[in-house]
Structures are given as C-alpha cells and as structure tokens.
Amino acid sequence: MRIDRQPDGSFLLSEVDPPFDHVLRSIPACADTADNDAASGRIYPNPVSGKGSGELCNEWREFVEPELRHLFEDAMATVEADLEQLSEVNTTVAVPARHVDAWLNALNQARLALAARFEITEEDLDRRPRQIETERDFAVFEIDFFAFIQENLLQEP
C-alpha cells in the first residue's frame, strides 16, 4: 500500500490490496467502545481527578461527552464514506484535504480503543520481529498500521 500527498493537500491511498482493504474497513469496529469499559474509559476519560471531582465529572458526562461522541461519530462516518471507493476493480482511496482531520481522529480512536481493550503496552509496540499468532498480536499490527497512515497524513508538505 502507498500513501502519497498531492499538491492540493489531499492524499491518495493506492495499491490497497488484501488484506489492507479489510484492515482499513475494520477501523470503525476497532474503535467501537460499546462492549468494553477500558476502551470507553480511554476514549472518554474524566476531565479531573481527586477530591471533589465528582460534580465536574458528572456535568462532563451530561454535557460534554455527548458532543465528543457526536464529533467522533462524524469523523468515523467520513472515513467510512471515503472507504466506499474501494472495490474489486478500484484499489485507490482519494482522501480530500478537508477529510484529513477526520481520518486522523478516526485512526486515533481505533488505535487507542484497541490498546485499551487488549492492554497493549509500549513494550508490545517496540517488540521486533512481529509475529501474528493471536488476536492480541493482530491488534498490535493494526495499531502499527494505523500509525503508519497517521504519520503520513501528518507530514508537512
């Protein structure tokens, strides 16, 4: 798979062959926090800790978290729509410049939720060579792969 920045700030993800097309399409599932408290706690952390923080945290849950949830869902919907370009005959995804922030957000959701769900540590990410034998190993691969895309999207022209 290749990622190339275009002069207008857009990106082309090309040569998205199997299994990378499948991994890209799994971004929403990777980011899903519905069934996992650790993932949910990481995507929606408390804004304050310690003594007397209860009231602020309760207000945060009521007023701020729904806005964040909406923002994250919007970002994911943008990425899902872009990935609709992929088909049996088309292995290229064009990401307009105005969608780059959504991609960065959605990829980060996926990476953080995966890391929380599988308790991935810095040592897991540094370990070489990679072996994919378990679901947890595959989660590390996905975190790495999504990071590769993020790093490319973050590069200055």
Partner 1 sequence: MTETTTVTESKTDAALSVPWNVVVHNDPINLMSYVTMVFKRVFGFSADKARKHMLEVHQAGRSILWTGERERAEFYVQQLHSFLLLATMERAGE
Collapsing DSSP to helix, strand or coil, 66 comes out as helix
Residue 36 interacts with partner 1 (CB under 8 A)? no
Least distance from partner 1 to the Cβ atom of residue 2, Å:
19
Residue 64 interacts with partner 1 (CB under 8 A)? yes
Residue 46 interacts with partner 1 (CB under 8 A)? yes
Least distance from partner 1 to the Cβ atom of residue 18, Å:
26
User: Is residue 129 reached through a cis peptide bond, with omega within 30 degrees of 0 on the bond before it?
Assistant: yes
Among 19, 47, 54, 66, binds partner 1 (CB under 8 A): 47
Say if residues 142 and 30 touch (Cβ distance below 8 Å): yes
Report the C-alpha gap between 139 and 120 in whole angstroms.
8
Residue 15 interacts with partner 1 (CB under 8 A)? no
The three state secondary structure string of 99-140 is: HHHHHHHHHHHHHHHHHHHHCCCHHHHHCCCCCCCCHHHHHH
- Positions touching partner 1 (CB under 8 A) are 42-50, 64, 67-68, 71, 104-105, 108-109, 111-112, 115, 120-122, 125, 143, 147, 150-151, 154
